[in-house]
Structure 1
Amino acid sequence: MQNTQSSPIGGWLEQYFGIRSSGSTIPREVRAGVTTFLTMSYILFVNPSTLGPAINVPNAFVQLLVTTAIAAAFGSLMMGLVARYPFAQAPGMGLNAYFAFSVVLGQKIPWQTALGAVFISGLLFVILSALGARQAVVKAIPSALKFAVTAGIGAFLAFIGLKNAGIIVANPATFVALGDLRSAPALVAILGLIVTAVLLSRGVVGAILIGIAASSVLAIITRAPVYAGGANGALQPFQGFGNGIVAAPIWPHDLVGALDIGGALGLGLLSVVFTFFFVDFFDATGTLTGLANKAGFMTPEGDMPRARRTFISDGLAAMFGAFMGTSTTTAYIESASGIEEGGRTGLTAVVVGLLFLLAIFLWPLAGAVPAAATAPALVLVGAMMLSSLARIEWDDYATTIPVFLTVISMPLTFSIANGVSFGVLSYVAIKALNGQAKQVHPLLYFVAALLLVRFIWLEG
Structure 2
Amino acid sequence: MTATQAPPARTPLAKVSGFDRYFGITAAGSTIPRELRAGFTTWLTMSYVLFVNPQVLSSAIKVPNGFTQLVITTCLAACFGSLVMGLVARYPFAQAPGMGLNAFFAYSVVQGLGYPWQTALGAVFVSGALFVVLSVIGARQAIVRAIPTGLKYAITAGIGLFLAFLGLKSAGIVVANEATLIGLGSLKSPTAWVAIIGLIITAVLMRLRVKGAILFGILVTSIIAIVSRAKVFSGADNALVAFNGFSGGLPFALPVWPTDLIGHLDIVAALELGALNVIFTFFFVDFFDATGTLTGLAQRAGYLDANGDMPRARLTFSMDGLAAMFGALMGTSTTTAYVESASGIEEGGRTGVTAGFVGILFAASMFLWPLAGAVPGAATAPALIIVGALMAEGLKHIEWEDISVAVPAFLTVIAMPLTFSIANGVSFGVISYCLIKLLSGQPRKVHPILYVVALLLIARYVFLAEG
**Band of TM-score, shorter chain:** over 0.9
Q: Is 2:239 the partner of 1:238? A: no
Shift of 1:233: 2.2
Aligned to 1:68, the other structure's residue is in SS state: helix
Shift of 1:242: 2.9
Q: Which of these two proteins has the greater Rg computed from alpha carbons?
A: 2
Distance, in Å, in 1 between the alignment partners of 2:263 and 2:118 is 9
Aligned to 1:22, the other structure's residue is in SS state: coil
Shift of 1:337: 0.3
Q: Deviations over 1:279-300 (max 9, x none)?
A: 0000000000000000110010
Percent of aligned pairs sharing the same letter: 66
Distance, in Å, in 2 between the alignment partners of 1:416 and 1:395 is 25
Shift of 1:228: 1.1
Shift of 1:393: 1.5
Q: Is 2:379 the partner of 1:379? A: no
Q: Among 146, 153, 156, which residue is 2:152 paired with?
A: 146
Q: Deviations over 1:165-205 (max 9, x none)?
A: 00000001100000000000001100000000000111110
Q: Is 2:94 the partner of 1:88? A: yes
Distance, in Å, in 2 between the alignment partners of 1:332 and 1:300 is 25
Equivalences for 1:256-405 in 2 at 5 Å?
Answer: 256-405=262-411
Q: State the aligned residue count.
A: 452
Aligned to 1:367, the other structure's residue is in SS state: helix
Shift of 1:305: 0.3
Aligned to 2:96, the other structure's residue is in SS state: strand
| Paired letter, 1:30 | L
Q: Among 126, 133, 136, which residue is 1:120 paired with?
A: 126
Distance, in Å, in 2 between the alignment partners of 1:12 and 1:204 is 30
Q: Deviations over 1:385-437 (max 9, x none)?
A: 00001111211010011000000000000000000000000000000000000
Q: Deviations over 1:209-254 (max 9, x none)?
A: 0000011111111111111123x42111112013211100000000
Shift of 1:12: 3.7
Equivalences for 1:102-251 in 2 at 5 Å?
Answer: 102-230=108-236, 232-243=237-248, 244-251=250-257
Extract unaligned runs of 5+ from structure 1.
Answer: none
| Paired letter, 1:410 | M
Aligned to 1:58, the other structure's residue is in SS state: coil
Aligned to 1:41: 47
Q: Deviations over 1:310-337 (max 9, x none)?
A: 0000000000000000000000000000
Q: Among 419, 423, 427, which residue is 1:421 paired with?
A: 427
Shift of 1:16: 1.6
Aligned to 1:176, the other structure's residue is in SS state: strand
Range moving further from structure 2, 69-78 or 241-250: 241-250
Distance, in Å, in 1 between the alignment partners of 2:172 and 2:373 is 19
Distance, in Å, in 2 between the alignment partners of 1:251 and 1:13 is 33
Extract unaligned runs of 5+ from structure 2.
Answer: 1-13
Distance, in Å, in 1 between the alignment partners of 2:305 and 2:143 is 15
Distance, in Å, in 2 between the alignment partners of 1:101 and 1:225 is 29
Q: Is 2:80 the partner of 1:78? A: no
Aligned to 1:90, the other structure's residue is in SS state: strand
Q: Deviations over 1:12-57 (max 9, x none)?
A: 4312211000000011000000000000000000000000010000
Distance, in Å, in 2 between the alignment partners of 1:23 and 1:111 is 46
Aligned to 1:444: 450
| Paired letter, 2:322 | L
Distance, in Å, in 2 between the alignment partners of 1:451 and 1:185 is 39
Q: Among 13, 24, 41, which residue is 2:30 paired with?
A: 24
Aligned to 1:169, the other structure's residue is in SS state: strand
Aligned to 1:330, the other structure's residue is in SS state: strand
Aligned to 1:21, the other structure's residue is in SS state: coil
Distance, in Å, in 2 between the alignment partners of 1:372 and 1:388 is 27
